[in-house]
Amino acid sequence: MPIQPATLQFAEDGTPRSERFDDVYHSADGGLGQARHVFLGGNHLPERWRGRDRFVIVETGFGLGLNFLATWAAWREDANRPRMLHFISCELHPFKLADLARLHARWPELAPLAAELRAQWPVLASGMHRLHLAGGQVCLTLYFGDVREGLAQIDARADAFFLDGFSPAKNPVMWSARVFHLLSRLAAPEATLSTWSVAGEVREGLRRARFAVEKAPGFGGKREMLRGALHPEARVRPLPAPPALRRAVIIGAGAAGTAICERLCARGWEVEIIDSADAPGRGASGNHAGVLRPQPSFDDNRMSRITRAGALYGWQRIREAWACGLKLRAAACGVFHLARDAEHEAKMRAVVERLALPEELLRQADAGEVSKIIGWRVPYGGWHFPGGGWVQPPSLCAANLAAFPNRVRAHWSCLVAAIERRGECWHALGTDGRAIANAPVMILAAGVGLVSFSQAANVPVFSARGQVSVLPATAGSAPRAVVCQGGYVTPEVDGLRCAGASFDVGDPDFSPRLVDQQANLAKLDSILPGYAAGLDASAIGARVGFRPVSPDRLPLVGTLPADSQSDLPGLYVLSGFGARGLAWASLTGELLASLIEGEPLPLERELADAMNPNRFFTRRTQKRITDKRLSGVTL
């Protein structure tokens, strides 16, 4: 559903107000005071989080972000604060960045925190957006969309609930029975809640959802508020046990392996990473430049939603790496995906109109505009991703490992012949049978080499050979943005540009082939008519890589099943990226780190489930995959 931003208005007394709901965003007696009294005080914070490793708060209306900023400020000032503060909030009508800045100026005591929040304020697209603040110790997960859909898709165990929103009379959806029961599903043992509303239907709805509530003194001119706790006899899912030792071994130092390495190290883990190459990003992640952008579809299917979330999160991580001074080669120069003909262009326009995403994420551009921007005349327009661009994968991999150098030990030029669990640890064994490294957690991010390990032999990952052509280029030459259409071509990057690429499942040939060079030049000429004229396919550079592909083209992120009935404890897989490694690596690294830690997930449950390796271990799915393998069908 397209997101309609909030419209900034004020009541006569200057209190921020919503015309849509005919109600104010906070008490006329002061928004910050209300946040501290009703939501922090009503949940007995900061007292309840002291001595905890992690504390999770779920909120039903983000609004101006005052409750979050007040909570963050209280966390920052508390010497006994938890190591991690997770704050998850739903908002159907988020404010635009400029409006947030205008609102936040009213509370100068929160200025540094508000500025850091706005610096990461996400594109107003539906779905989940994860922001890392306070050096990664404060994690804000925003769901833009209907609160009922958001709460149903959140995967977390909340220690406290902030029930905020416009009054039940003005916005009954926020106070519906479904919302209250969804909150109960998310509750951790001894979860508490608070809200400014004491309406009878609110009290009764919470009671029916197994919350015990009571009235308490309200804030300012409001005589009463409501606070409560999950009923002691209410059924709750057991809390995931955090790892006793934060140590992991990762096999594979490509985009996948280095992404999960960086995300674990950010949480204080010590990691040993092993690769058969002499440096990171030498396998499928070794191309000179690749494309990072979303992949829209008319029905906004799971592939599209995961790719959109991945592209947005990927660029966020790149900006954070730059802010830390890491040498990561990338440029958000924009990406164009051009139509093949007039009919295709009309269909692409229909997708843009149906999705109605913010223009900084996706817009339609005509042929004239595209031609002017890229510096080459094209016959048809198509999709424009203004925030997309190119990334140099080896530099991304190196930056991931350089982010926490004191927590990473790399083993280069080491071939892992087998893995074995001994006691509480997994051991990576070399060709001589000796252990290269061991840890309680092992992550297989070895690309197409995943299935060489006996524990992963039945995982349906297939090898797709890809050959990219590398052309000499001068600075400022066309195209000046990434252009796609059946293939892709990048701008000049360090005197070279990439064009391609082939995608051949089950082809084991390591050597560059002239026929693939010719095919890449044909694609290039289709993208930019006349561009390949005079280029000699036998005289340009080429690189061959092998990308891991799953049958449904979605990644594999999670525990590695031993069979259809059980898991192998402490063994995880991160693979199946196919041709979308740049779009998926950072987000899936965060997803897997969250799964391992038992933290709230960074994206919707539906999308996380769609990437769970166990999806292929039902009897029906296994039979279908086996039948296709036997029949020689290309998956």
Specify the CATH number for the domain of residue 72: 3.40.50.150
Residues 68, 143, single domain; the answer is yes
Phi-psi region of 161 (alpha: psi -120 to 50; beta: other; left: phi over 0): beta
**Nearest in space to 619 (alpha carbons), one of 575, 552, 565, 569:** 565
Asked whether the predicted pLDDT for residue 149 surpasses 70, the reply is yes
Task: Please tell me whether residue 567 adopts helix, strand or coil conformation.
Answer: strand
Return all residues near 418 (Cβ < 8 A) that are at least 6 apart. Answer: 429, 453, 454
Instruction: Tell whether the model's pLDDT for residue 619 goes beyond 60.
Output: no
Question: Does one domain contain both 60 and 199?
Answer: yes
How distant is the alpha carbon of residue 223 from its chain centre?
43
| Residue 372 within a domain | no
**What is the per-residue pLDDT for 102?**
96
Report yes or no on 292 lying in a domain: no
Is 104 inside any structural domain? yes
**What single letter denotes the amino acid at residue 92?**
L
Q: Taking 80 as the threshold, does the pLDDT of residue 561 lie above it?
A: no
331, two tokens: 């440029």
**pLDDT of residue 538 exceeding 90:** yes
Q: Are residues 199 and 154 in the same domain?
A: yes
At 196-206, the pLDDT tens digits run 999 999 999 99
For residue 635, pLDDT over 50 is answered with: no
CA pair distance 416, 426, nearest whole angstrom = 13
Q: What is the pLDDT of residues 502-533, one digit of tens each?
A: 999 999 999 999 999 999 999 999 999 999 99
Q: Given pLDDT bands bounded at 50, 70 and 90, which one contains residue 567?
A: low
pLDDT tens for 221-280 read 889 999 999 998 888 877 777 788 999 999 999 999 999 999 999 999 999 999 999 999
The answer to whether residue 628 scores a pLDDT higher than 50 is no
> 508: domain range?
463-549
Q: What is the mean pLDDT of residues 351-360?
A: 97
Higher pLDDT, 623 or 360: 360
Q: Are residues 567 and 457 in the same domain?
A: yes
Residue 79, pLDDT > 70, answer yes
The domain spanning residue 477 has which CATH number?
3.30.9.10
| Residue 479 counted as domain residue | yes
538 with 563, same domain?
A: no
- Residue 355: inside a domain: no
For residues 542 and 428, membership in a common domain is answered with: no
What would the mean pLDDT of 421-445 be, rounded to a whole number?
96
Residue 634 has a pLDDT of 39
Residue 28's pLDDT band (cuts 50, 70, 90): confident
How do residues 288-342 score in pLDDT, each as one tens digit? Answer: 999 999 999 999 999 999 999 999 999 999 999 999 999 999 999 999 999 999 9
Residue 70 to residue 67: CA distance in whole angstroms? 5
Q: How many structural domains does the chain have?
A: 3
Regarding whether 603 and 591 lie in a shared domain, the answer is yes
> Do 120 and 268 fall into the same domain?
no
In a domain, 596, yes or no: yes
Question: Which residues is 462 bridged to in the sheet?
Answer: 549
One domain for residues 138 and 13: yes
Give the alpha-carbon dihedral of 65, 138, 181, 308, to 10 degrees.
Answer: 80
Task: Yes or no: say if 599 and 470 are a contact pair by the CB < 8 Å rule.
Answer: no
**169 in the same domain as 63:** yes
Percent over 90 (pLDDT), the chain: 89
Reported pTM: 0.95
DSSP string, 195-247: ES---HHHHHHHHHTTEEEEEEE-STT--EEEEEEE-TTS--PPPPPPPSS-E
Claim to verify: residue 197 and residue 73 sit in the same structural domain: yes
The single-letter code of the amino acid at 507 is D
Co-location of 186 and 80 in the same domain: yes
| Inter-helix orientation angle 581-597/393-402, to 10° | 30
End of a domain among 549, 573, 592?
549
Q: Are 576 and 554 in contact (CB under 8 A)?
A: yes
Q: What pLDDT shows up at residue 12?
A: 87
What pLDDT score was predicted for residue 6?
95
Looking at residue 242, its pLDDT comes to 75
What DSSP state is assigned to residue 163?
Answer: E
> What per-residue confidence (pLDDT) applies to 624?
52
C-alpha to C-alpha distance for 1 and 226, rounded to whole angstroms? 32
Instruction: Specify the pLDDT at position 534.
Output: 87
Least confident range from 59-63, 76-80, 229-233, 326-330: namely: 229-233
CA–CA separation, 351 and 337 (whole Å): 13
Please, how many CA atoms are within 13 Å of residue 247, restricted to the half-sphere of its CB?
12
**Look-up of token digits 């140099």:** 392
Q: Mean pLDDT in the chain? A: 94
Question: By C-alpha distance, which of 168, 214, 178, 174 is closest to 193?
Answer: 214
- pLDDT of 563 strictly over 80: no
> Per-residue pLDDT tens for 583-597?
999 999 999 999 999
Closest by CA position to 337, among listed 466, 477, 479 = 479
Q: What is the mean pLDDT of residues 178-204?
A: 96
Q: Which of 487, 514, 549 lies at the terminal end of a domain, its last residue?
A: 549
CATH number of the domain to which 577 belongs: 3.50.50.60
Pick from 494, 519, 549: which residue ends a domain? Answer: 549
Residue 391 to residue 583: CA distance in whole angstroms: 10
